[in-house]
Chain A
C-alpha cells in the first residue's frame, strides 16, 4: 500500500530560500549607487543617438551632446561666437580665413590644428553629400598650424553661419579608419563618447581636458525611449532626470507638480505642410495652395493639436529672430477669399464639399509618428480641412517610410518639421529645400526668380541689400505658396526638480549640459 506522496511544494522550499538569498546578495550597494546617480544625468530621447554612424539626421547628436564642437557657435541670442575658430574673416569674395583656438586637444590626446580641421571637413563633405551642398567648399588649405583658408566655389557670405551647423562638427583624424570611413566620434567637446548599447543608450563622460568650462556632472546617459508617453512616464517614475520632446498634453500636469520643472521657449523650427507641386495633384495649381493657406486656422490647430504650446505660423520664418527681414505679408484666415480662389481653380462647393468634374477634392496627406507632435498636428489639419469641405486621406509612417513615398511623388501634402532658423541665416533652408536644384527639394517646386534671389543672397554681407534680397525671396515664397506653414516651434522639455542650470538654446539643437548640475 503506497502512502500519499508528500506535498510537492515542500520540495520547493529550499530552492526558494536559495533564490531569495542569491537575490539579496546580487543587489547593488545602495550608497555607492546613489553617489554615482547624483553625478549622472539620465536623458530620455525621442530618437536613437546612433553615435557610431555619421549619417542620421546630419550627425546632429554629436553637436547636441557636445561630443564634438563646431568651428563657430551660436550664443543664446543666436549671435555668432567663437567655437574652435576664434576669428574668421572674408579676405576676398570667395575666400575665408579662419584662425583656430590654441591649446585644444581631442579626446584621444591629439592636438587640434589646421590639418586636422581640413581633414575633418574633407571627410565630412566626402561622406555626406548634403554637407558638400551646404558648404560649397572648393578648396581648403592649412596655411599655418592654426590657420585655415577656405575657398568657396562661389561667393559665399553665409559660410560662418553654415559652420555652426551640426554637420560641420570637427572630427579628430582618429575618428576615421584607414579607408576614410567613419568609425567613432572623437572630438574636442566637454563630453567624451564612452559606450553605446544598441536600441537602449549612449553614454558620455566628462572630458577633463576640455578647452572651455568643464562640466559639473561626470556622466550623461542618453536613453532611447521612442514612445512619447513612455518617455514622460519614465520621468515621473524617476527612471530618467530629463525628458526631451515632451508631449504637450503633459505640460500642464507636470508644471503643477513641484517635483518637476518644465522648460518651454520659442526656438528655431517650423511644422509645415509641404505641397507636392508637380504631377497629377490638385496642388499643382497655386490658387489651390493659396486657398489652403487661407482656410486653415492655425490658432485653432495649435489649441487642438498642441494644447496651445506653439505659435501659429502664417509665414515661413519665426518673427522673433532679429535677422528675419520684416515687411513680408503673412497669410490671413479668410474663408471667403479661399472660396473665391477655389472657384477660380475650377472647383464648386456642393453639399458642403468641394468638387470638380463630379469628383470630390481629396488630398493625400502623409506624415510620420516618430516625432511627438506630428500625429496630432496632421490629424488636426485633416479635421480642419474636412470642416471646410475638403476631404483627405491620411497616412502615418516613420520618417524614412514617408520619405520613400514623397520621393515617388505619391502624396499631396507631407507634414514635416524642419529647423530653418537653426544657423541664424536664411540661406540654410531656402537653399537646401526650396531651390529648384536642391537635392532635398522633393516638392518639385521651381521658381527661377526665387532661385536667383537665393543665389544672390548668399554672396551678400548683412546690410540693406541683403535684407531687400531676402525680403523679396520670402515674398515670392508667400505668393507662390509651396508650403502651408502651420506652427512655429515652442521647445518643450522637462526635468526633475533637482536639475539646475538648464536653459533652452534657441537653435533647438544644443543641450549645453556642461552648465547643468544636480542639487541635493
Chain B
C-alpha cells in the first residue's frame, strides 16, 4: 500500500530528525560542561592566554549573550551551527568548520574502503560457508571471526605496518596523498572486521536457506550455489545493508586508532588531538560532525532497506 510507504518513510525521517535534535542538545551541552568558567576560557584563548579582567569578561559575556537563558543560547548556537559556524579553535583561533568537514571526508574514505574490503571478503566466504556447511570454510570463517574480534587493532596495525612497509616495502608507512597511503589503514580495519561480518552474513543466509522457497528452487533443478545467489542473497540483501550500516560504526572506531598510527588526516585523529589539547570547541565540533554524519548514514541505510524490500516497509 503506497500510503504505508509514505508513513513509514515519514516515521524514519522524524526519527532521524529527533536524533539530530538530541545530538545537537548534547553537543551544545558539551561546551558548557567544560571545566573552568566557559566564558573566561573562550576570551582568554582569544587574548593569547592572558587572563581577562573582570570588566572585560563581563563585557564579553554580555556581548556574546552568555547571560541569556539557556534555551535562547541553544537556539542561537543552533542557528550558527546550521549556517556553518561551528565555533573557533582555542588553539589556533581559526574557525573549525571547514577543517572538520574536510577531515570527516578523509575518515569516510577510509571507513567506506574498509567496509567495501570487508564485504568483498565476507560475501564470498559466507556463501562458501553456507554452501559447504560444517566444512573447512565454516571452521575457517569462525576462526577468522574470533581472531578479528580478539586482536587489538592498534597492535595489528603495528605488525602490518612493519611487514608491508618495512620488510616488503610495498606500501608507505604513513601519510596521505596517493591511493597507496590508504591501503595499509584500509587493510588493517577491513581484515579485522571481515570475520565477524562473514559470520553475520552467514547466519542471515542460513535463515534464508531454511525457507520453503529454497526447497522449491532445488526442486526446480537449481544447484545449491545458484539457489543461494539468485534467491537467498537478494532476499537477505536488506538485512545485509542494515548490517553494513551497523558495521560502519564499528569500523569507525578502528579508523580512529588507525589514523593516529598512520598519520591519516582524518577526524578521528583530530578528535584525539582536541582532547589532549583541551580544545573544547574543536572537540564539540568533531563530535557534532561525526554524530550528524552517522545519523545521516543510518537514515540512508534505512531508506535503502525500505527501497529494497517491500516487506520491510510494512514493519517500519
Contacts and interface: CB of A to CB of B under 8 A. Distances in A.
Q: Do chains A and B touch in the complex (CB under 8 A)?
A: yes
Contact of B175 (A239, A400, A405): A239
Interface in A221-252: 223-227, 230, 233-234, 236-239
Given A4-B226, A234-B174, A397-B276, A227 B169 contact: no
Contact of B172 (A8, A237, A400, A408): A237
B172 A225 contact: no
A110 interface: no
B173 A234 contact: yes
A203 B275 CA distance: 30
A498 B102 CA distance: 37
B241 interface: no
A405 B278 contact: yes
A5 interface: yes
B276 A369 contact: yes
A236 B260 CA distance: 20
Interface in A1-55: 1-2, 4-5, 8, 53
Contacts of A404: 90, 277-278
Contacts of B278: 397, 400-401, 404-405
A210 to B, nearest CB: 29
Given A396-B276, A405-B278, 20 more contacts: A2-B220, A4-B222, A53-B92, A199-B176, A199-B265, A200-B175, A200-B176, A225-B174, A226-B263, A233-B161, A233-B173, A233-B174, A234-B173, A236-B166, A397-B276, A399-B277, A403-B49, A404-B278, A408-B36, A439-B50
B11 interface: no
A223 B102 CA distance: 19
A278 B269 CA distance: 36
B158 to A, nearest CB: 9
Interface of A: 1-2, 4-5, 8, 53, 129, 197-200, 223-227, 230, 233-234, 236-239, 369, 396-401, 403-405, 407-408, 439
Contacts of A233: 161, 165-166, 173-174
Interface string B258-273: 0011110100000001
16 contacts: A1-B221, A129-B48, A198-B99, A199-B176, A200-B177, A226-B263, A237-B165, A237-B173, A397-B278, A400-B90, A400-B91, A400-B278, A401-B277, A403-B49, A404-B277, A439-B50
The secondary structure that dominates the B interface is loop
Given A199-B265, A233-B165, A400 B173 contact: no
Interface in B151-172: 161, 165-166, 169, 172
Interface string B189-231: 0000000000000000000000000000000111100100110
A28 to B, nearest CB: 10
A432 B162 CA distance: 44
B309 interface: no
A398 B173 contact: no
B85 interface: no
Given A129-B48, A200-B177, A237-B166, A227 B279 contact: no
A237 B169 CA distance: 7
A344 to B, nearest CB: 35
Contact of B223 (A4, A224, A399): A4
A256 to B, nearest CB: 16
Contacts of A398: 273, 276-277
9 interchain residue pairs of minimum CB distance? A199-B265, A401-B278, A230-B174, A401-B277, A398-B277, A400-B277, A398-B276, A404-B278, A233-B173
B221 A5 contact: no
Nearest to B264: A199
A198 B94 CA distance: 14
A500 B229 CA distance: 62
Contacts of A53: 92
Contact of B229 (A1, A8, A198, A224): A8
Contacts of A234: 172-175
Contacts of A225: 174-175, 263
Interface in B104-141: none
A198 B265 contact: yes
A2 B99 CA distance: 56
Nearest to A440: B49
Given A198-B265, A227-B260, A401 B223 contact: no
A227 B174 contact: yes
